[in-house]
Amino acid sequence: MTQLPDCLYCRKDQRLSDLMIEVAPLQVSTLYLFKEQTYRGRCVVAYHEHVNELYELPDTELARFMQDVTRAARAMKAAFNPAKINYGAYSDKLPHLHVHLVPKYTDGPSWGTTFTMMPEPKRLHSEDVYAGLIAQIKAALV
């Protein structure tokens, strides 16, 4: 049996559930809602295998991953109507291919500049509020 790397996306352990909530499996990745909600609707699309760079994927997998990112972004646009969605794929400290999808609003934080990766924590007040955001995204996933 192959041992999983010590990666929260691979192990799907408490570290992951402390940061985000699974929204839905996609073709080759999983869509998560980030619990920190400074940017209302912020999500992460994480590739299903442990790789760190886009160039590590075969062309067919790369196409599927980018389709997943696009599908998630379309759902976020339909659900929350942001003025812009920022995309962030860093992996400096967490070496697993994932893309942050950060909705930006003209009257919201960081408008006109790069989003803050780890802003002051803004957690929502109840699990029901997170569930409502997830339901909006799921309804828009096509």
pLDDT at 1: 45
Q: Are 141 and 75 in contact (CB under 8 A)?
A: yes
Nearest CA to 132 among 50, 45, 63, 37? 37
State phi, psi for 129 to the nearest 5 degrees: -70, -45
Which CATH number do you get for residue 110? 3.30.428.10
> Residue 1 domain-assigned?
no
DSSP labels, 55-88: GGS-HHHHHHHHHHHHHHHHHHHHHH--SEEEEE
How many domains does the chain fold into? Answer: 1
> Residue 122 domain-assigned?
yes
Q: Is 107 exposed, middle or buried (0-12, 13-18, 19+ CB in 10 A)?
A: exposed
In tens digits, what is the pLDDT along the chain, a chain of 142 residues? 467 789 999 999 999 999 999 999 999 999 999 999 999 999 999 999 999 999 999 999 999 999 999 999 999 999 999 999 999 998 888 899 999 999 999 999 999 988 877 777 777 878 999 999 999 999 999 8
Q: Are 24 and 31 in contact (CB under 8 A)?
A: yes
pLDDT at 27: 98
> Residue 3 domain-assigned?
no
Range of the domain at 46: 8-140
pLDDT at 14: 96
Q: Are 9 and 98 in contact (CB under 8 A)?
A: yes
pTM (2 decimals)? 0.93
pLDDT at 2: 62
